[in-house]
Structure formats: structure tokens, C-alpha cells
Amino acid sequence: MRVKIVGSAAGGGFPQWNCNADLSRRVRAGEPGLTARTQSSIAVVADGGSNWVLLNASPDLRQQIAATPELQPSGDGLRMTPIAAVVLTNADIDHIAGLLNLRERQPFVLYATQKVLDVLNANPIFDVLDRSIVDRRPLRTGEATAIAGLSGPTGVTIKAYPVAGKVALYMETGQAADFSDDAGDTIGVSLTDAAGSRIEYVPGCARIDERLLGSVANCDALLFDGTVFHDDEMARAGVGTKTGRRMGHVPIFGDGGSLNAFANAGIKRRIYIHINTTNPILDDNSPERATVRAAGWDVAFDGMEVRA
Ligand code: MLT
Ligand code: MN
């Protein structure tokens, strides 16, 4: 199985358009050790396969396809795409806005939980994806789903599982129901192919519990929510008051943080993805970057490949 990190930053990208804080300034200035990143998306293809599965469709998708030859049209057909299916892990803007780039009457299959499909179904702008050629299929948690395009299987199987999270920011009501572990607002996914390797993709997760540890244990690679290093990072950077956890993202560092939580989970390769413009691990030379490196974590960059 081959995974391409299409976009490694969190919503807003790195640098975020309106951010003038330290890291964003420095990457804009071209300082060595800081690399710009587009918004959250990965693509996966089975060994021997040519039909790609895109996981999450970011607002930067047009630019991301332009930067990724594997996702571009090829052969003799006048209209085609190697992207056979799209899978969504939540309804956040950074994961669904790119669906609008996939119009132009291109058939594909779209998979998401019923809760996330309900959000799309309620918004007529997504009807630009003609339902007679873009098939919306519910992804049921706890079940293995052989991901198929309209012309046949991709060879990638996905098992989705609920993770602690919340509804998308624009769907928040202020009620307790905004935050749920099981409603299907946020999922993690196990990616497998016939060769038997297993990659876990969890770009958003508010809390690491025993259930999640059980889902990812002994995988070949874990691509995990690296939005914030410190829970209070937005306040530290002086750009906001919300904590990482309130935004649906467990911090890397500190009590309950991901750095320690996965330490003994038997995971062969660990990679932080979905990284916010305020996260000091974005600076290759920061002490925080050294801390995650020493704990065996890589930091994803756009174009990175993971094979398993
Ligand atoms: C998130 O991951 O918290 C969201 O992408 C935030 C947003 O909608 O920008
Ligand atoms: Mn996000």
C-alpha cells in the first residue's frame, strides 16, 4: 500500500492567510527550516492498483492535484481521473470544501458516515456533484468496507471507527450534542490492502482512550492529529483563546497528549499530520521538533510518501 501526504497542514494551511504570528511570518520570509504546507488530505493506492482513494478533500485540492502527478489524468481518454473514490473523516471545511473542485461532471464514489452525508445532503451547493454520477455511500463504523470506484474495486479496504470529536465548527449549536464520541461526526480509519499491511489515519481526535489505542495497536503506520503541540498553544501564540481540545484536537504534549499515549502501542511508524500554523514542530530546528523526533515521530510534509 502506498500513501501520499497530499496536504499536511490543518485547516487554514501553513502559513494561514491571515496569520502574522511568529511561525507564519518566518515561513513567509523563506527562513530555512520552515516549509509551507497545504490543507489536510492524503491519497492511498493498493499495491498493484491504479485507482486512488482520496481521504478528505481540502480547499487546496486543485493545487494539490497539480503538485501530484499520480492524481492527474493520463492515457488517451479526454476526461479521466485516477481518483476513483473520496472518503471523508468529518465535515470540517478543510475536509469537504475541495469536493467543489471535483465538479465538471466527473463520476466517482463518495464515502462518509451518515452524519457527515446528512450535512452535505442539507447543503445544496454540494449538488454541483450530480448525484446521478457521484454516488454518495454511507460508511458504517465497525465494518470493513471495500472501497470501490464506479468502474470497480480499488483494492483498498477501510474500517472506520468513531473517535472523540465534535460537529464541524459551522454546525456547532452550543449544546452538549456538539461533542460526541459515537455520533459519527469524526472517524478514524484503518487502511488495508490484500498484502495485509495496515495504516491508521486519524486527522482529528479530541481524546485518546482505550478504544482508540485498541484500534491502532500494532499497525504499520499511524498518521495522527498533530494540530497543536500545547493544548493552550493558540493563547501562547497570542492569536486565540480556544484550547486544542475544545477545537476537537488532543495536544501532542502534556497530560493525556499523543506523544505519551501511543508510546507503548507497538506502532512501527508514527507521523503527525493536520498541523496548525501555530505548532512549533513546523520549525525543523525547534526544541519541540526535537522532542517529537526523540519520541520516534516524524512530521508530515506535502508530497511525503508512506509505504507499508
Ligand atoms: C479543525 O480541524 O479544527 C477545523 O478544520 C477547523 C476549521 O474548520 O477551520
Ligand atoms: Mn481540520
Mean pLDDT over the full length of the chain:
98
Neighbour-count burial for 140-169, b at 16+ CB within 10 Å, e otherwise = ebeeebebbbeeeebbbbbbbbbbbbbbbe
Cα 211 from chain centroid (whole Å): 20
Strands 108-112 and 134-138: parallel
pLDDT in tens, 118-157: 999 999 999 999 999 999 999 999 999 999 999 999 999 9
Contact between residue 3 and residue 305 where contact means Cβ atoms under 8 Å apart: yes
Provide the 3-class DSSP secondary structure of residue 249.
strand
Residue 153 has what pLDDT? 96
Q: Is the CB of 167 under 6 A from ligand 1?
A: no
268 C-alpha to center of ligand 2: Å? 25
120 C-alpha to center of ligand 1: Å? 16
pLDDT above 90 covers a percentage of the chain that reads 100
pLDDT in tens, 226-241: 999 999 999 999 999 9
pLDDT in tens, 194-235: 999 999 999 999 999 999 999 999 999 999 999 999 999 999
Confidence of residue 16 (pLDDT cuts 50, 70, 90): very high
Contact between residue 145 and residue 69 where contact means Cβ atoms under 8 Å apart: no
With a CB cutoff of 8 Å and minimum separation 6, the contacts of 170 are: 93
Q: Is the CB of 9 under 6 A from ligand 1?
A: no
pTM: 0.98
Residue 193 has what pLDDT? 96
Residue 165 has what pLDDT? 97
Q: Which atom of ligand 1 is nearest to the CA of 227?
A: 2
pLDDT above 70 covers a percentage of the chain that reads 100
Nearest to 89 by CA among 165, 172, 170: 165
Residue 263 has what pLDDT? 97
Residue 138 has what pLDDT? 98
Phi, then psi, of 307 in degrees rounded to 5: -115, 140
With a CB cutoff of 8 Å and minimum separation 6, the contacts of 282 are: 14, 23, 27, 34, 35, 37, 275, 299
pLDDT in tens, 238-269: 999 999 999 999 999 999 999 999 999 999 99
Contact between residue 247 and residue 203 where contact means Cβ atoms under 8 Å apart: no
Residue 104 has what pLDDT? 94
Residue 92 has what pLDDT? 98
Q: Is the CB of 169 under 6 A from ligand 1?
A: yes
Residue 33 has what pLDDT? 98
Closest-CA residue, ligand 1 atom 6, reads: 11
